[in-house]
Amino acid sequence: MKIDRRELLIGAGALAATACASRLPVSFGAFGAAPKLSPAVAEAIHRAIESAKRAGASYVDARVVRRKWETVSTREDHIEWVSYRETYGIGVRVIVNGAWGFSSASRVDGASAESAALRAVVAAAANAHVSERPVVLAPAPLIKGSWVSPCATDPFAISVAEKGEYLIDLWRSARSVPGAKFGAGHITSLGEWKVFASSEGSLLEQKITRIAPSFSVTAIDPSIEGFESVRSELAPSLGGWEYVAQSNLKQNAQQLAENAVKKLRAPAVVAGERDLIIAPSNLWLTIHESIGHATELDRALGYEMDMAGTSYATPDKLHKLRIGSPIVTFYADKTTPGGLATCAWDDDGVETYRWDLIKNGVFVDYQTTRDQAAWIHERKSRATSYAQDHKSVAFQRMPNVSLAPSRSDISVDDIIAATDDGIFATGTNSWSIDQQRYNFQFSAQMAYEIKKGKIVGPVRHFAYQSNSIQFWNSCDMIGGPKSWELGGAMDDGKGEPMQSNAVSHGCPPARFRRVNVLSTRNS
């Protein structure tokens, strides 16, 4: 089936213009009818698909993408720097003789799109001579529609001056704390508008807005060696400026400074095996590194070896390997409200959904795309294809991977009360993991000693070390639904050349028994 040129050539689309104009009725996003495209975009897509088909492509897709990225950074009472990047263009992907080919153009017009499509055909024909196996695409329903992520106020409509003043105001609160010497703030806004069209007949338009505010305070005490910094634990999110305005950053700025001072004056943690309670603000990163990347099929098969390597979760272990204790279930979900990887369709044009990766501790599934499903004899894509921008080829990227909460109404206070001797860790700091996503080490923004069910005070120089299977099998308490929170990153790297993907991970607080706690203090 083909997309009729007259269907494409309708006029300016309303989706991009109204995406952040008003509050949306649902937290996942708002769906609309088939997109109405500008003449230039319609002509580019039509010529890309038709020219590639005439040149011998058995499958073609075209993505027109506009990507905006802005960061405003402050240092104490002034704006330190501002960064703004924007890309716009068309990417064309084809299959010829069972092999992929890709090319792009930074001009969105018919001639440029056709030229890119023909270059992609040439590349695919060359790749067919060296490809290990022919590309087989899992079935995907023909879809025509539009979707916009929740956004009440477009962050790009907020001036640099207003963003800077917001961050400087945080320092005004923090500097009142004796010992707070430095403050740094950042607000990053990311906007994506993209149209996907395929030779199978799908035509999709999405507008996605993400935002990431952060603030850190550094404390110095001349009577104590060194310094300590503490960063806010507010996660980046799908959403607009309203996420910043409604956040607790301003209320917590002074507390952040007080925590930095407390951390500076705290005793060093005592190394050894300890029970460890980890808050969602720290645990999300452990999930990302030890579970999220480990269940990417291309890593498991050795096709992706960059950025901390392959995976311990190889296909021979599927439905056999116990990665966690029976209370541990991880699921992937690109429809999670507020999730950074949340969208309606992936860059293969497949509708997103939720599925389990680890069920009751057992490894049960992977993250896949349309062309990867056949590698493990599945007939359905897991809708995890993504390309950073128009000039990047789409490949498997991590969805929102989350730890399911307990069915019981267990709070972090309940877990602390049930712990006789342990450490409570919050906020992410440094991390390291090996080339098989197995052995790891993580530190925290803040760590607190627990004795006989109560927090007795902060400790300094804390880190924990384990391996993925031992760690998740040691989990014996998980918080309930009310304690479940999202964490995440705007810039998860993968591939060569590297591409960046925004992704979230939800989890409740959880307890892990007899984890190896390290003291990072230099001696």
Considering the chain, what is the average pLDDT of its residues?
94
The total of structural domains in the chain comes to 2
Q: Among the three residues 265, 290, 305, which one is the final residue of a domain in this structure?
A: 265
Check which CATH number belongs to the domain holding 146 and give it: 3.30.2290.10
Same domain for 482 and 462, yes or no, is yes
Same domain for 315 and 192, yes or no, is no
4: confidence class by pLDDT, cuts 50, 70, 90: low
Query: DSSP letter at 72?
Result: E
| Structure confidence at residue 438 (pLDDT) | 96
pLDDT of 445 over the 80 cut:
yes
Query: Which residue, 415, 404, 428, is CA-closest to 506?
Result: 404
| Structure confidence at residue 224 (pLDDT) | 84
307: confidence class by pLDDT, cuts 50, 70, 90: confident
| Structure confidence at residue 12 (pLDDT) | 33
Give the C-alpha separation, 58 to 508, whole Å: 46
Question: Which tens digits make up the pLDDT trace of 94-150?
Answer: 999 999 999 999 999 999 999 999 999 999 999 999 998 999 999 999 999 999 999
Give the C-alpha separation, 72 to 79, whole Å: 7
Same domain for 284 and 308, yes or no, is yes
Same domain for 228 and 96, yes or no, is yes
pLDDT of 315 over the 80 cut:
yes
Same domain for 259 and 302, yes or no, is no
Question: Which tens digits make up the pLDDT trace of 254-283?
Answer: 999 999 999 999 999 999 999 999 999 999
Same domain for 195 and 170, yes or no, is yes
Q: Among the three residues 222, 241, 265, which one is the final residue of a domain in this structure?
A: 265
522: confidence class by pLDDT, cuts 50, 70, 90: low
Question: Which tens digits make up the pLDDT trace of 171-226?
Answer: 999 999 999 999 999 999 999 999 999 999 999 999 999 999 999 999 999 888 78
Same domain for 259 and 285, yes or no, is no
Same domain for 261 and 283, yes or no, is no
Per-residue CA distances from 334 to 235, 340, 354, 505 (Å): 17, 9, 7, 11
16: confidence class by pLDDT, cuts 50, 70, 90: very low
Same domain for 307 and 211, yes or no, is no
Q: Which two tokens stand for residue 197?
A: 């069209």
Q: Among the three residues 203, 236, 265, which one is the final residue of a domain in this structure?
A: 265
Domain assignment of residue 426, given as a range? 272-519
The 3 state secondary structure assigned to 90-117 is EEEEEEECCEEEEEEECCCCHHHHHHHH
pLDDT of 19 over the 60 cut:
no
Are 390 and 65 in contact, with CB atoms under 8 Å apart? yes
Three-class secondary structure of residue 310 per DSSP: coil
pLDDT of 507 over the 90 cut:
yes
Of residues 396 and 22, more confidently modeled: 396
pLDDT of 457 over the 50 cut:
yes
| Structure confidence at residue 28 (pLDDT) | 86
The dihedral built from the CA positions of residue 36, 159, 251 and 256, taken in this order, carries a sign that is: positive
Same domain for 317 and 418, yes or no, is yes
Same domain for 344 and 257, yes or no, is no
Per-residue CA distances from 58 to 93, 125, 155, 225, 428 (Å): 11, 12, 41, 66, 47
- Alpha carbon 3 to its chain centroid, in Å, reads 32
pTM for this model (two decimals): 0.94
Same domain for 201 and 330, yes or no, is no
Q: What percent of the chain has pLDDT over 90?
A: 91
